[in-house]
A and B are shown apart, each in its own frame.
Chain A
Amino acid sequence: MAKVVFPDHLLSHTGGTREIAVEAKNFRALVRAVDSRWPGIEAVLMKTAVAIDGQIYQDAWLEPVGADSEVFFMHRIEGG
């Protein structure tokens, strides 16, 4: 199952849980699985960036997630 890590600013939505394991074939399914555990968090997660196996995505959706993937939610970055 993929390791999913939440940064501190999202912990208020996860009741303080920092890390969970999720089985999902892609990012969209992963977010839905997380939302089933903490209803309503999907709207928050869709506004964040995410790093899947080291690759940063600003607007992930269909990106594959593997059984050994590491998924880190993070602040969005745009830049100047």
Chain B
Amino acid sequence: MAEAHDYKAIGTSPVRPDGVDKVTGRANFGADLNLPNMLHGKVLRSPHAHARIRSVDVSRALEMDGVYAAISGADFPSGAEGDIQGEGGGTVSDLAQNIVARDKALYHGHPVAAVAAKTPYIAERALDLIEVDYEVLPPVLDVDEAMADGATLINENLHTNGDTSQPASNVAGITKFERGDVDEAFAEADLIVEGEYRTPTAHQGYIEPHACTATYSEEGKATIWCCTQGHFDVRSLTASVLGVSVGDLKVIPSEIGGGFGGKTVIYLEPLAVKLSEVSGRPVKMVMSREEVFRATGPTSATHSRVKVGAKKDGTITAASAWIAYEAGAFPGAPVGPGCMAIFAPYDLPNFRVEGFDVLVNKPKVAAYRAPGAPQAMYAMESAVDDLARELDMDPIDLRLMNAADEGTQAPYGPTFPPIGIRDCLQAAKAHPNYTTPKGEGVGRGIAAGFWFNIGMQSSAEVRLSEDGTVTVVEGNPDIGGTRASMCLMAAETLGVPYETVRAHVGDTESTGFCNVTGGSRTTFATGMAVVQACEDIIAQCKQRAAATWDIDADQVDWTDGEAVPQPGVNVDVQPLSLADIAGNAGRTGGPILGRASLNAQGAGASFSVNMADVTVDRETGKVDVVNFTAIQDAGTAIHRAYVEGQMQGGAVQGLGWALNEEYVYDANGEMENAGFLDYRVPVTSDMPMIDTHIVEVPNPSHPYGVRGVGETPIVAPLSVAANAVRDALGFRIPDLPLSPPNVLAAIDDREGA
């Protein structure tokens, strides 16, 4: 692998290819498509958080002028089979019932029926004519209630870990990891800290609501336009729910206004296809913000207990954790990754972690950046912070003393290859924002973060135009600037200027299969495919040059975007550039097309260390972030500005989760703050400039050392904020969010007000 200083394109920060269209409004997002004779679809949602559905009657809605279709769960095939991949898992059957309820409504906002009408207004009025007979049941609204003896069962056929010898339960699964003799190691500890923590239900908060348009043809084939993180997954999931072949569906991705994991699943697509099939017209469906909050995947609320034991010198002897995750209405909380991530930054000889996947009457959770890790690591990093205080140790020194390293056996099993946690900690300790004394009344917090990152399947084609310009075609929707990253890797590999490379996101029929844009995998895995496709181009160009020069292909080198004879080859020729070879392609064998498909292995774990200074207004409870520093191992930063952008965006989302965001439910399970006015995500004026420091410990499994950077940034900010507030107040508030009313209540409680 080349050293970083050898790169010409990689590590620069050119303007993104899709930037102008996005800032001028030309880019087409999910709701922007309009087709002739198009109808508008709307969803009837359950007004109850938990209810048995006795009947659904859509006949009166169908009688309304302007209504062309009305459907309910009865219009979809039953008995859908198969599993959904991913950290939460789950089944296609559950997915189908989440898209439209059958026997039970399992959360307030659960779809029960849908209509397609000439206008959105008519469709909404038609919803009022659908008659649903509910038997209202008591809702179960948090993990403690759901796990209590005698709790109302959300699914009477659910048994923990599928063990039907045990009574039905709201606990879908229990995950455990254990190493060493934990009890003895705690007994050997000089000091033990314990904590109990809670994190709230929080939403991914993407700006663009879910939207799609579908048209069903007389031949039984459908085309779907939608905003998604993965159109191949939309195709397979929609096909499973509808009981059709993937070959009967074509999915065209629009630009996407944020996803953060929440657009790796489907909600509207099967409804739109079915409505189009019934009506014979194209159907567009666009969620309101309220629908996004009430019915699309938030992330799990959690309740956890953590215990850490250490020697007086700071050596951690043992740690244990108990973590319960809300899954929402169907099994599949990201509890497994949470349990695997919680102790990842540390080299622990003795630990035990136990995680619970718990049903509650809330929307089924969906992935959210580093799914499961922020909640679990919030608990551990808070406990480590308390341990440092008890030991009177610098929190970075304590983490350095116990940090994992290359060769450390990760808590989840394998041995770490080269990793960057120590580099991040050392960078933090030397950073001016840490060495500068904190101001009067300022609290300072620090914490570590981690995410595994993944590879999975990707495809890419690289096409040469006759003037030597290059087109990269791949199948990952561009969320965080991946077009630019693909172009940079192609330019670097081919040895041509970035400006001569274009990137195109193909639909399911115009490019090879790609898994979702998620898991911090796109720059790693699809980037690897692009590099291999470029290497295919180079091999072909060398053959064309060799044929032109009447020498063997293995006598040709590729240097700085040109074919040149190898040193010592006795031939009197001028180098042939990519443009020269492309211009003569018709005479030397035809168009030149490089391609690669792979299942990328060797994704490199990415560690981070974040720190912040905050102030707390003791009269209002408001927390202000004075500064925030994000330090992260990117492996190699392909596009530096976008790596920094990922770090900054993740930091802001994590701070929003820590300081303000939460679903507020009433006693009946209805969300009371389903809008951005009341569910308050941070805005620019809330935040300081997020300082970034990119650590680069190259991943040996990627040709340019990429690790993936999209998820780790959200992990540490929760505990950074909590540790900083702890430092400012002099006592810990263990339950997030640290919003003004919660902080004020904690202060009042502490001071006996």
Contacts and interface: CB of A to CB of B under 8 A. Distances in A.
Interface of A: 5, 7-9, 12, 47, 51, 53-59, 63, 70, 72-80
A76 B87 CA distance: 6
Given A7-B177, A9-B173, A55-B602, A79 B521 contact: yes
Contacts, number: 119
A72 B204 CA distance: 32
B163 interface: yes
B178 to A, nearest CB: 7
A8 B177 contact: yes
B175 A75 contact: yes
Nearest to A52: B414
B529 to A, nearest CB: 16
B413 A79 contact: no
Interface in B218-259: 259
A54 B412 contact: no
Contacts of B60: none
6 contacts: A7-B412, A56-B454, A58-B455, A79-B261, A79-B453, A80-B204
A5 B599 CA distance: 24
A75 B417 contact: no
Contact of A78 (B340, B367, B602): B367
Interface in B325-382: 336-337, 339-340, 366-371
B161 interface: yes
Contacts of A74: 340, 412-414
Interface of B: 83, 85-87, 89, 161, 163, 173-178, 204, 259-262, 264, 336-337, 339-340, 366-371, 412-417, 451-457, 516, 518-521, 599, 601-603, 701, 710-711
B414 A56 contact: yes
Contacts of B369: 79-80
Contacts of B457: 59
Q: Which 9 A-B pairs have the closest CB atoms?
A: A80-B261, A79-B519, A72-B413, A75-B336, A51-B414, A8-B176, A78-B86, A80-B367, A54-B415
Main secondary structure of the interface of B (DSSP, over half): loop
B85 A80 contact: no
A75 B337 contact: yes
Contacts of B454: 56, 58, 77-79
A8 B701 CA distance: 29
B414 A72 contact: yes
Contact of B174 (A9, A57, A59, A78): A9
Given A55-B601, A63-B601, 11 more contacts: A47-B83, A55-B701, A56-B601, A58-B454, A59-B456, A59-B599, A75-B339, A79-B520, A80-B262, A80-B366, A80-B370
Contacts of A78: 85-87, 264, 367, 371, 454, 456, 516, 518-519
Nearest to B368: A80
A13 B43 CA distance: 42
A77 B264 contact: no
A54 B370 contact: no
A70 B413 CA distance: 9
Contacts of A53: 414-415
A79 to B, nearest CB: 3
B413 A7 contact: yes
Contact of B89 (A8, A70, A76): A76
A80 B599 CA distance: 18
A48 to B, nearest CB: 10
A32 to B, nearest CB: 20
A46 B308 CA distance: 35
A5 B413 contact: yes
Nearest to A73: B413
Contact of A80 (B83, B176, B602, B711): B711
A72 to B, nearest CB: 3
